[in-house]
Structure 1
């Protein structure tokens, strides 16, 4: 029994020793953690300082903006050629792509009934001429006879005079009718009203042609002047005030990639299109070697420099909210003041603004937002 007690006491001593060491280490660790936490919590906090707000002085300038709009190249002159009278196509002298000069014969037509009408009119002219000659001779004889007193009454003389004047009028009418038919025959020759290129041909020899809607729905030819073109664009209403006559314009076309062409503003409509609310603007173009053709679509770069100086600010300085458009001015007491403005054109990160409450030298916040409330302090 004594031996067994001694053994259990000897085994218990090391166990108690290990337990005491574990408690000591844990107490030390807890004490160190508390001291570190205490030292962190007792550290003095630094005061937070608001970042300064960037501003600039308001000044006037001139903003030159570029307007990129699509345009269309059209022939300076273009006409659809129809027959004046119902007729047959006798011969064609040109075809699509033919270059013609002013007055050149393009086609001849034939109308047999017109030849018959001309012959009939000629016969009537000769008949009326003979009638007039007879009545004129009769009047002359009566007048000569009346010189003998008592032979011819004055009434007979007046009637003879009226008859010969009536016959003269009938003769003049016959000559006018003949001239009208003769002039109509000239329309059987289709000639070019100006120099250009035949772009469309719709008929062949033997076809029946006539005036538009009366024998011919399509023209015989379409003639275009291609060495002189019009570049037509529509300028929006808000930008019409920046257009100038004789202004140079650059443009490009898809068929000539990498090339820039130049045109000159020549004609301003002076009114807005009711549908587009834009002003029609035309420029003259003189292409060479058919590098530009009627019907091409062009991308037009229209420079629009300002006529008068106005306030120019960075785009970031303008706040466009749902209720108002404004800039933030820093007043003398270093508070924010919202000032309503009207925005103008934008170019290269700059914007034109208009405001009656602004003046040169005002300090404007460079990067404005609604977070900087009206009346709040500005550092």
Structure 2
């Protein structure tokens, strides 16, 4: 009975030790699996420079390059309207003529008087050379010639006031008067516009005003049309409007076929800045911090952080100007699971986390 009891005790001890070893091995395996599961798996982007354009949207209004209301300088009766409504006219073309019979008669009379006075001045000049007349008589004749010439210039100026000429090439609008109507300087006879080229006027907020300058291109559409037109900025206001915190600018737009109309609403897309070599990264890779923004990188299998400066932002991407270099492995997913200086695993190519 003693041998049997000892044998049972030894067997019990051996079974217990074996179970303890099995339990320890299972615990070790479970801890290994847990540790492996705690290493985050992320997607990365190898940073490479590429060209990028910073664009901005704005709205504007199409304006004529030149515009003038045709008004008479003096009151009078219209005797000629030398244009058709909606027609193209040339610079210097006579458009409107007021009644000027009295001025024409005065000019003919003054011309006759001037002709006689010039002949008298010539005769007395010859006589003066041989002392046939006094200096005073000759001076009086010369004075009369100069006076009549001045009178004639005045009549010509008054006669020009009775006519309206086109100050530039353009398209004339609808007239508001008829031949025979009496008009005054307050009467708008018609409007003349130069529509090729045209001006596109728009404003941009202060935060992007730095990118609006003379010589920069832009594109725009008008109304519901899908046609894209182009133009070039030629001038801006000298400063920001303090009441709207915006900068007003104008662009020149070619309109040879006359499809664009003044007053039209335009949706504008303009180039603010071109980056020949930019680091463009997904917007979700940015991590905000108290004093700016940062990104996570992988270096030797460990997560590292890098502060960055961002200059251009869209809904899906940003341009980084500081904090990245060519070849950096940028973490673009799993940002909430990674920790600085902790190991990370990279998702195999073709898979996403």
Taking structure 2 as the reference length, what is the TM-score of the superposition?
0.68
Larger CA Rg, structure 1 vs 2: 1
Match of 2:7?
none
The alignment covers a number of residue pairs equal to 306
- Structure 1's 94 and 126: CA in aligned 2 closer, same or farther, altered over 3 A? closer
Q: What is the rounded CA distance, in whole Å, between the counterparts of 1:233 and 1:313 in structure 2?
A: 31
Alignment of 1:377 onto 2:342: yes
SS in 2 for 1:62: strand
Equivalent runs, 1:1-379 vs 2, <5 Å: 46-47=30-31, 48=34, 49-50=37-38, 51-64=40-53, 66-94=55-83, 96-111=85-100, 114=103, 118=107, 121-122=110-111, 125=114, 128-129=117-118, 132=121, 135-136=124-125, 139-142=128-131, 160-161=134-135, 163-165=137-139, 167-210=141-184, 215-216=185-186, 218-226=187-195, 228-234=197-203, 236-240=208-212, 250-254=219-223, 257=225, 259-265=226-232, 267-269=233-235, 273-275=239-241, 276-277=246-247, 279-287=249-257, 290-302=258-270, 306-321=274-289, 323-331=291-299, 334-339=302-307, 341-347=308-314, 349-355=316-322, 357-367=323-333, 375=340, 377-379=342-344
Q: What is the rounded CA distance, in whole Å, between the counterparts of 1:55 and 1:139 in structure 2?
A: 107
Range that drifts further, 330-339 or 130-139: 130-139
Q: Could you report, residue by residue, the CA deviation over 1:110-167 in whole angstroms, capped at 9, with x for unpaired residues?
A: 2566457646755764675476467546634526xxxxxxxxxxxxx9xx33652454
Q: What is the rounded CA distance, in whole Å, between the counterparts of 1:270 and 1:251 in structure 2?
A: 18
Do 1:57 and 1:364's aligned partners in 2 also have CA atoms closer than 8 Å? yes
Q: Could you report, residue by residue, the CA deviation over 1:317-342 in whole angstroms, capped at 9, with x for unpaired residues?
A: 12344531222344558243241x22
Q: What is the rounded CA distance, in whole Å, between the counterparts of 1:261 and 1:312 in structure 2?
A: 27
Q: What is the rounded CA distance, in whole Å, between the counterparts of 2:337 and 2:183 in structure 1?
A: 77
Do 1:98 and 1:197's aligned partners in 2 also have CA atoms closer than 8 Å? yes
Taking structure 1 as the reference length, what is the TM-score of the superposition?
0.64
Do 1:313 and 1:352's aligned partners in 2 also have CA atoms closer than 8 Å? yes
SS in 2 for 1:168: helix
Range that drifts further, 295-304 or 119-128: 119-128
Task: Give how far 1:181 is off.
Answer: 1.1
CA RMSD of aligned residues (A): 3.9
Greater fraction of residues in strand: 2
Do 1:328 and 1:365's aligned partners in 2 also have CA atoms closer than 8 Å? yes
